[in-house]
Homo-oligomer: A and B are copies of this chain.
């Protein structure tokens, strides 16, 4: 992929992610609000009702204005006790959403909720319970671990952080070796995203407990090696991250975990910008990766296949997914700036490639799309 295309697509992905799908709704709002599952301990607000409306309560007695970015902008009103309250004007999509407050013109987090790293800052987060939330729920099953490692990186002159999911039993079956999935976050997020927002570890624990997958490791590290500030994507260059991932992290993981370190047992996937990174890095390193996943991060066309020697022999799976709202909301242009990813997936399939296309129902460029993508992707790996 040319660098200009990469830059353009990443920029579009960012804009895409910020699009507002809020609806104006005349339905009666049910009075069954409960504290969000992501609230800080002991905090009653924000609250979510069974329809997906969100209600906020912020103490700021002397403030002139308080609004919430969720729901396309939700203004709050002050009551007699100096508490600002309000409810989104429509129900929110199921799943996880980032948001923040605007208090008298300043950007702050909601003191009621936990924070999650997105948009290059720690943002407030809220969870609208999804009808299929069971697959990423914390259950009474054997749990794997999420291990923070610090690995040496000569190219950046730092010790860099990654998280490694090891499945249940990893520390008991001491002769067993495991395949590895390298899994990347999106623009403005970091290596904490797939565990905190994505529940990747719980998705794996549950899939393993149900016997739906063979256990493998997941490695998650920071993919914006040379970029942190909003707008900095002008100068985005895949090389620094590719060097860290391919030349430094992979050898470290293979030396320090019990991996199957050959190409057939190594996969890479990513969401949004992480999907774009995945495409670029895997195409340039097909001797290292056999299974590829792009979650809301572009697709592979036959042109990509044709210009990449060995693609058909070496690539054992191409998985491409989107949230349904990403593809339906572009003024009739099917697929929007992604081209037509379904047609691309079909073309690869006809060429004999193991090509899988998945649409997450009723979700946008957000984490429920990606939790579901991982859930669909994982069972297809390392067959």
Measured CB to CB, the nearest residue on chain B to A66 is: B106
Q: Mark A151-165, 1 if CB is under 8 A from B, else 0.
A: 110000001000000
* A211 sits at the interface (CB 8 A): no
Q: A207 within 8 Å of B by Cβ?
A: no
Bound CA–CA A104/B104 (angstroms):
9
Whether B143 contacts A145 by the Cβ 8 Å rule is no
Query: Which residues in B have their C-beta under 8 angstroms from that of A41?
Result: 120, 228-229
Tell whether, in the assembled complex, residue B120 and residue A42 are in contact, meaning their CB atoms are under 8 Å apart.
yes
A256 and B106 within 8 A (CB): no
0/1 string, A115-139, CB within 8 A of B gives 1? 1000011100000000000000011
Q: Could you tell me the distance between the alpha carbons of A172 and B63 in the complex, rounded to whole angstroms?
A: 57
Q: Is A60 an interface residue (CB 8 A)?
A: yes
A50 in the interface (beta carbon within 8 A): no
Which of chain A's residues 50-78 have a Cβ closer than 8 Å to chain B? 58-65
Q: Collect the chain B residues with CB atoms within 8 Å of residue A148's CB.
A: 145-148, 195, 201
Please report which residues of chain A, range 247-269, place their CB below 8 angstroms from some CB of chain B when the two chains form the complex.
256-257
A223 CB, nearest partner CB in chain B, Å: 13
B42 adjacent to A229 (CB under 8 Å): yes
Q: Is the CB of A62 within 8 A of B138?
A: no
Residues A61 and B106 in contact, CB atoms below 8 Å apart? yes
Residue from B105, B143, B152, B257 in contact with A59 in the complex, judged by beta carbons closer than 8 Å: B105
Is B105's CB under 8 angstroms from A104's CB? no
Chain B residues, CB < 8 A from A18: none
- The distance in angstroms between the C-alpha atoms of A58 and B108, with both chains bound, is 10
Give the residues in chain B near A150, CB-CB below 8 Å: 138, 143
Q: How far is the CA of A13 from the CA of B101 in the complex (A)?
A: 34
Asked if A62 and B105 make an inter-chain contact with CB atoms under 8 angstroms apart, the answer reads: yes
Minimum CB–CB distance from A191 to chain B (whole Å) comes to 12
Measured between beta carbons, the chain B residues less than 8 angstroms from A65 are 62
Contact of A107 among B59, B152, B229 (CB under 8 A): B59
**A240 CB, min distance to chain B CBs, angstroms:** 15
Does A15 lie at the interface of the complex (its beta carbon under 8 Å from any beta carbon of B)? no
Q: How far is the CB of A276 from chain B (nearest CB, A)?
A: 20
Check if A111 is an interface residue, CB within 8 A of chain B: yes
Given A40-B122, A42-B229, A140-B159, A257 contacting B103 (CB threshold 8 A): no
Residue of B nearest to A152 (CB): B140
Q: How far apart sit A150 and B166, CA to CA, in the bound complex (Å)?
A: 12
Instruction: Assess the B62–A62 pair: CB atoms within 8 A.
Output: no
C-alpha spacing A257/B166, complex, angstroms: 14
Question: A149 on the interface (CB 8 Å rule)?
Answer: yes
- In the complex, whether A82 has a CB less than 8 A from a CB of chain B is yes
Are B115 and A111 touching (Cβ within 8 A)?
no
A201: chain B residues at CB < 8 Å are 148
Which residues of A (83-117) have their CB < 8 Å from a CB of B? 101, 103-109, 111, 114-115
| Contacts A41-B228, A143-B159, A171-B257 supplied; 14 other A-B pairs, CB < 8 Å | A60-B103, A60-B104, A62-B64, A62-B104, A63-B64, A63-B105, A103-B108, A108-B109, A109-B111, A114-B122, A139-B159, A143-B150, A145-B148, A146-B148
The chain A residues found within 8 Å of chain B, CB to CB, are 40-42, 58-65, 82, 101, 103-109, 111, 114-115, 120-122, 138-140, 143, 145-152, 159, 171-172, 174, 195, 201, 228-229, 256-257
List 16 A-B residue pairs with CB atoms under 8 Å apart, sorted by A's residue number.
A40-B122, A60-B103, A61-B104, A61-B106, A62-B105, A63-B105, A64-B64, A64-B104, A103-B106, A103-B108, A138-B159, A140-B159, A143-B150, A145-B148, A148-B148, A148-B195
The 5 closest A-B pairs by CB, nearest first: A60-B106, A62-B104, A143-B150, A61-B105, A63-B104
